[in-house]
Amino acid sequence: MLDNIPSIKELNFVGRESELEKVKEELANHDMVIICGTLGIGKTSLAEKYAYDLKEKGQWVRWIEAESTKIVDEYAQWAKDLEFGTGGKTIEEVRDSIYRYLCGQRELVYLILNNVDSCLGPPVQYPHYYNR
């Protein structure tokens, strides 16, 4: 399973059309977009809305809660969904095996790392690193 966005979910999302368009524009020209701003400004909601819009268009989207306390379990779960063995592997090895697998796939997977700024540990590595 490449993604983890349910196909139907009620969102109480309103507005932000220009921000959604901006993310789309940036992604047309770059591999990565960073949404930053003060707590509560609507970053997660914007990403969530974008994710559901992509999903509606038939794209693959994987949402990862990237706080230090969660990211390890998030990658482990993704590996499990892909039926990859994780026994004896560090989380970095698990992550790398997922990213390498993705780089070899024809499908594009949109990866959303929520709260990545608060992740202090080594698990964060941006996937385009593997595409060089």
Ligand X SMILES: Nc1ncnc2c1ncn2[C@@H]1O[C@H](COP(=O)(O)OP(=O)(O)O)[C@@H](O)[C@H]1O
Residues that bind ligand X (CB under 6 A): 12-16, 39-45
Kindly calculate the radius of gyration of the chain based on its CA atoms and give it in whole angstroms: 15
Site for Mg ion in 39-68 (CB under 5 A): 44
Helix axes 68-81, 91-103, angle to 10 degrees: 50
41 touches which of Mg ion, ligand X, none (CB within 5 to 8 A by kind)?
Answer: ligand X
Least distance between ligand X and beta carbon 44 (Å)? 3
Distance CA 54, CA 25 (A): 14
70 touches which of ligand X, Mg ion, none (CB within 5 to 8 A by kind)?
Answer: none
104 touches which of ligand X, Mg ion, none (CB within 5 to 8 A by kind)?
Answer: none
Give me the DSSP letters along 105-117: SSS-EEEEEETGG
Nearer to Mg ion, 47 or 102 (CB): 47
Distance CA 64, CA 77 (A): 10
Query: Which positions lie near Mg ion, rule CB under 5 A?
Result: 44
